[in-house]
């Protein structure tokens, strides 16, 4: 069973506009309200492609209730974990040239007792030999040691741990022995403490995370695709998107595609052929998400695997574009 955990979920409202002009009254051309949070999106993407998972979602207040109703309306197998705080709301402003402006609330704090209950529920839902996918930012005020303890307990229980987060929590997941980490370029640069200006830097940073204890690293690079660093070597690839609409949730779709194709097991076994298949699937799912509005997750008809180009030996010295 794949169990996703979103510690800081949200209601995501995406508003499409012609141009963002400060101080003006702007007329929206379209608006979408969807359940948000990285783990939530992974479960939504898996569901859209017939892969079962269960989403664990700490939530509270009217917003939390609406979030759960939206997920259940989509058919997501969701477990609401009640908390005293109010679930946050996020706003995304999307312009026709693919410029995205995001306004994210910080979210509620979790008490020590609430986080213990969440951890216990994760272990109960996964069962021995399951896969726990912990994604997104940590709630405000959550001690890094508490997140490390969650990761350590999952690994000790014999479950496969996959983590997509940032900062100290990302380092904690690596040192706890996560089977796979999925940082983006900025998150990877932050955790190793220096900018990543070329593919060589990305590969070296991923290897550093592996030296801390992580099994494999899948680094997403936006329009430049992704790099997979695992026991079997290094593999990079990309999938062009002629008409991008929204990058919201693209990294989550990429991770879901990798999971659906058995990428974690392939990377753990150091199997380059199976890892290549999984990376192809991941890139195709991520590209499909970019071509859709809001945080809509791709369905089978949206996915174009033939557009993916893999590079078993990428030009590691090729510069990466400067982040916006």
- Catalytic hit among 12, 201, 252, 302: 252
Alpha-carbon dihedral 73, 78, 79, 84, rounded to 10 degrees: -60
User: Which contiguous run of DSSP H or E holds residue 161?
Assistant: strand 160-164
Catalytic site residue 252? yes
CA dihedral 171→10→146→253, nearest 10 degrees, is -40
State the sign of the Cα–Cα–Cα–Cα dihedral 37, 43, 48, 49: positive
Degrees (nearest 5) of the Cα angle 134, 60, 114? 60
Question: Maximum Cα–Cα distance for the chain, whole Å?
Answer: 55
Rounded distance between C-alpha atoms, residue 2 and residue 22, angstroms: 43
Determine the Cα–Cα distance for residues 294 and 111; give it in Å rounded to an integer: 32
Exposure letters 174-203 (e unless 16+ CB within 10 A, then b): bebbbbbbbbbbebbbbbbeeebeebbbbb
The residues near 324 (Cβ < 8 Å, ≥ 6 apart) are none
Cβ contact 254:267 at 8 Å: no
Q: How far is CA 26 from the centre of its chain?
A: 31
Estimate the share of the chain in helix, then strand, then coil, as percent rounded to the nearest 5: 40, 25, 35
d(CA 290, CA 220): 13
Q: Where in the sequence numbering do the catalytic residues fall?
A: 252
């Amino acid at each position: 069973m794949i169990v996703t955990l979103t510690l800081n979920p949200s209601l995501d409202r995406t508003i499409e506009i012609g141009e963002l002009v400060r101080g003006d009254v702007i007329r929206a051309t379209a608006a979408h309200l969807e359940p948000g949070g990285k783990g939530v999106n992974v479960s939504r993407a898996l569901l859209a492609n017939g892969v079962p998972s269960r989403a664990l979602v700490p939530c509270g207040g009217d917003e939390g209730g609406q979030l759960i109703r939206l997920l259940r309306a989509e058919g997501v197998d969701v477990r609401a974990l009640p908390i005293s705080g109010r679930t946050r709301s996020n706003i995304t402003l999307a312009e026709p040239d693919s410029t995205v402006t995001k306004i994210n609330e910080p979210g509620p704090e979790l008490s020590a007792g609430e986080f213990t209950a969440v951890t216990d529920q994760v272990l109960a839902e996964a069962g021995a030999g399951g896969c726990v996918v912990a994604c997104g930012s940590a709630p405000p005020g959550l001690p890094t040691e508490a997140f490390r303890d969650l990761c350590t307990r999952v690994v000790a229980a014999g479950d496969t741990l996959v983590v997509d987060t940032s900062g100290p929590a990302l380092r904690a997941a690596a040192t706890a022995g996560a089977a796979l980490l999925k940082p983006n370029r900025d998150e990877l640069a932050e955790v190793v403490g220096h900018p990543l200006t070329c593919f060589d830097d990305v590969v070296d940073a991923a290897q550093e995370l592996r030296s801390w204890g992580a099994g494999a690293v899948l680094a997403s690079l936006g329009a430049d695709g992704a790099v997979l660093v695992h026991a079997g070597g290094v593999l990079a690839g990309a999938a062009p998107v002629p008409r991008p609409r929204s990058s919201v949730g693209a990294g989550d779709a990429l991770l879901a595609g990798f999971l659906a194709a058995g990428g974690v097991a392939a990377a753990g076994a150091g199997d380059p052929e199976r890892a290549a298949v999984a990376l192809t699937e991941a890139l195709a799912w991520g590209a499909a998400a970019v071509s859709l509005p809001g945080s809509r997750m791709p369905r089978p008809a949206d996915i174009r695997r033939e557009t993916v180009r893999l590079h078993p030996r990428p030009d590691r010295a090729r510069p990466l574009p400067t982040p916006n």
